[in-house]
């Protein structure tokens, strides 16, 4: 009770009205054109024994449901679960495994994924083996009776190697140990690659990238057609708890509406900049699956509907000082990590995303001090080309090129 200081007596129910007069939960059934952001953590029930569609937001939430239905439709998937980041998706999926299970992946993939397998999955008692999944005979040799998962990233981040999804899926079926095939589809988005239609069991996304597309939401996605996997993954998310916020789900649903338009612009900008770099005297090589010079260009055309704004290239000289000068001379591109936003980005994988690999190993996979990763955004093509050109010329002055 508040101390009586002689003021008028206030209405004791004021606070009750403040809590309850905003409306009756049963009345909120309007028809807004875009999904409402349902921030409620809990939902009113009419009976303790007959629970309604939603009970508690960690379990399900209407705004999240809208997003998941849309992403499932885009990925040609029966089920979708969104989680709080791409690595939360990796963590949730890996918990399908038990101690003693064998997992095969590549060493040459996103640094965070590699670090998770090497440190966390191994600590969970999972036997992790890295092999080059481009080589089907190496995969066949690596497969064992206890191989329960094969984790594919295609294209690989940042060296743009492609894995033949249908061929890996067929190999796993023939092997017959029931290994789950997971494909990280982050670099392509469902607009350009749909792994479930090629035989994968699970697709995962760092939705932080193309699906969000505006550099302002961190989120992960898990998609599957298999009811058994969906049930297990749904349980792992509910009890593991890595759910995204309803506000972020709203932003993500908004982003998906423009995915195809953005992807087409990312692709045309990426191809134009990559083609320009192929002719540049300061450039050693360009790694872009959409260029005929890429060793797996034919696979790209067979497996994909196009390509995103992602590619990598090697600056002549393969030298940290040259790469640093190039990256710090950029004016339109931003030097940072992450990718797939409207803003074009350049990254030095050797120090920024792949530093978990020792230099010697990195270089074995082509992640040298001269390898630059490019994420072409949505700016004018000519502005991007001119920026890259001036930064390369600042890093490698004319006249020196011929001596490199």
Interface residues with ligand P1T (CB under 6 A) are 85-87, 110, 112-113, 153, 157, 184, 186-187, 206, 208, 218, 220, 337-339, 353
Q: Which of residues 269 and 353 has its CB atom nearest to ligand P1T in the complex?
A: 353
Whether 305 sits among the annotated catalytic residues: the reply is no
State the pairing for strand pair 283-287/147-153: unpaired
For the bound state, the minimum distance from the C-beta of residue 60 to ligand P1T, rounded and expressed in Å, comes to 22
Residues 110, 114, 210, 365: which is the catalytic one? Answer: 110
Residue among 40 and 356 whose Cβ is closer to ligand P1T: 356
**Minimum CB distance to ligand P1T, residue 352 (Å):** 7
- Is the Cβ–Cβ distance between 128 and 103 less than 8 Å? yes
Q: Is 209 an active-site residue? A: yes
**Smaller CB separation from ligand P1T, 276 or 313:** 313
Which residue has its beta carbon closest to ligand P1T?
Answer: 86
Nearer residue to ligand P1T within complex by CB, 153 or 387: 153
Question: In the 8-state DSSP scheme, what is residue 137?
Answer: H
Residue partners of 8: CB distance under 8 A and separation at least 6: none
| C-alpha torsion angle, residues 314, 267, 248, 196 (rounded to 10) | -100
Which of 189, 198, 197 is closest to 155 using CA atoms?
Answer: 189
Q: How far is the CB of 186 from ligand P1T (least distance, A)?
A: 4
Active site residue 58: yes
Which of 101, 108, 164, 184 is the catalytic position? 184
Beta-bridge partners for 151? 182
Alpha carbon distances (Å) from 343 to 143, 262, 333, 368, 374: 41, 12, 7, 25, 11
Provide, rounded to whole angstroms, the least separation between the CB of residue 85 and ligand P1T. 4
DSSP 21: T
CB of 112 to ligand P1T, least distance (A): 5
Nearest to 397 by CA among 296, 331, 326: 326
Which of residues 153 and 201 has its CB atom nearest to ligand P1T in the complex?
153
Task: Determine which one of 134, 148, 209, 373 is catalytic.
Answer: 209
Phi, psi of 220 (to 5 degrees): -125, 160
According to DSSP, the β-strands at 202-206 and 180-184 are parallel
Q: Which residues are catalytic?
A: 58, 110, 184, 209
């Amino acid at each position: 009770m508040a101390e009586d200081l002689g003021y008028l007596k206030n209405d004791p129910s004021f606070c009750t009205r403040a809590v309850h007069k905003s409306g009756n939960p049963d009345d909120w059934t309007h028809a807004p054109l875009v999904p409402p952001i349902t921030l409620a953590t809990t939902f009113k029930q009419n009976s303790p024994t007959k629970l309604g569609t939603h009970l508690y937001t960690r379990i399900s939430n209407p705004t999240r449901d809208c997003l998941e239905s849309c992403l499932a439709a885009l990925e040609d998937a029966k089920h979708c679960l969104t989680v709080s980041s791409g690595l939360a998706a990796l963590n949730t999926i890996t918990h399908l495994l038990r101690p003693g299970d064998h997992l095969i992946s590549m060493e040459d993939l996103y640094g965070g994924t590699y670090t998770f397998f090497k440190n966390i999955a191994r600590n969970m008692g999972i036997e992790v083996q890295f092999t080059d999944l481009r080589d089907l005979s190496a995969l066949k040799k690596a497969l064992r009776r206890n191989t329960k998962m094969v984790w594919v990233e295609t294209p690989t981040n940042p060296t743009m190697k492609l894995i033949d999804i249908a061929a890996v899926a067929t190999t796993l079926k023939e092997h017959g140990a029931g290994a789950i095939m997971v494909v990280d589809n982050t670099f392509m988005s469902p607009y350009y690659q749909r792994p479930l239609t090629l035989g994968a069991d699970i697709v995962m996304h760092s939705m932080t990238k193309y699906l969000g597309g505006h550099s302002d939401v961190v989120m992960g996605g898990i998609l599957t057609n298999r009811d058994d996997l969906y049930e297990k993954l749904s349980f792992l998310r509910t009890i593991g708890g890595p759910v995204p916020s309803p506000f972020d789900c709203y932003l993500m649903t908004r982003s998906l509406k423009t995915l195809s338009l953005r992807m087409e612009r990312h692709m045309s900008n990426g191809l134009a900049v990559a083609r320009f770099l192929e002719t540049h005297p300061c450039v050693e090589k360009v790694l872009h699956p959409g260029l005929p010079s890429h060793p797996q260009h034919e696979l790209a055309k067979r497996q994909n509907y196009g390509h995103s704004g992602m590619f990598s290239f090697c600056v002549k000289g393969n030298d940290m000082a040259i790469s640093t000068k190039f990256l710090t001379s950029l004016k339109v591109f931003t030097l940072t990590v992450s990718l797939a936003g409207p803003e074009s980005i350049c990254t030095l994988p050797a120090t920024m995303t792949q530093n978990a690999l020792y230099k010697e190993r990195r270089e074995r996979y082509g992640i040298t001090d001269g390898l630059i990763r490019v994420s072409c955004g949505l700016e004018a093509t000519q502005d991007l080309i001119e920026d890259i050109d001036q930064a390369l010329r600042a890093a490698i002055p004319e006249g020196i090129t011929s001596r490199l």
